[in-house]
Amino acid sequence: MRFLIPLADLIDRLNNACGRVLPWAVLAAVLLAVGNAVARKFDSGSNALLEAQWYLVSAVFLLGAGRVLRLDEHVRIDLLTSRLGPRAREWADIAGLVLMVLPVSLLLLWLSWPWFLNAWTSHEMSPSAGGLPLWPARLLVPAGFALLAAQAFALLIRHAAALQELPR
């Protein structure tokens, strides 16, 4: 188990890097929204700007899920686990990761990859006039679930290490 801790550290660093970049995506989305609103007042708004704003907001939610899981800020059922001891809580976290987070994120990764590939290979464009290519938005879905699954795996390593009383 000890040899997997560096892998968990690497996954943590990857999700931390996403977490440091995503607030800038929020700022960019806000600036695009303001710019597009002002431009529309002068009858020169852009569908591409509106779609870029949607892409940025989507990136925040999809690429940020792994970091939220790492920081333990996701939705939990603390009502059930708050009365448990430390070892039982580790086991409850492992069960949640193995029975819910990993299967769901891997399934959605598997299902969304062909959806992205289809948009990529067919050069699918937005149906809106002057819109953007769809593949970047569709790539966010499998990328987000890959980051979430990787972080779940990292947490699984850390919880297993805690059960073995190894440094996490």
What's the rounded Cα separation, in Å, for the pair 139 and 113?
8
Question: 89 exposed, middle or buried (CB, 10 Å; 0-12, 13-18, 19+)?
Answer: middle
**Structure confidence at residue 116 (pLDDT):** 97
What's the rounded Cα separation, in Å, for the pair 99 and 88?
16
**pLDDT tens by residue, 59-79:** 999 999 999 999 988 777 677
pTM: predicted TM-score of the whole model, two decimal places: 0.89
**Structure confidence at residue 19 (pLDDT):** 93
**Structure confidence at residue 91 (pLDDT):** 92
> Phi and psi (nearest 5°) for 129?
-60, 130
- Give the list of residues 6+ apart from residue 4 with CB closer than 8 angstroms, or none: 157, 161
**Structure confidence at residue 114 (pLDDT):** 97
- Give the list of residues 6+ apart from residue 51 with CB closer than 8 angstroms, or none: 126, 128, 131, 132, 137
In this prediction, the residues of the chain whose per-residue pLDDT falls under 50 are none
**Structure confidence at residue 84 (pLDDT):** 81
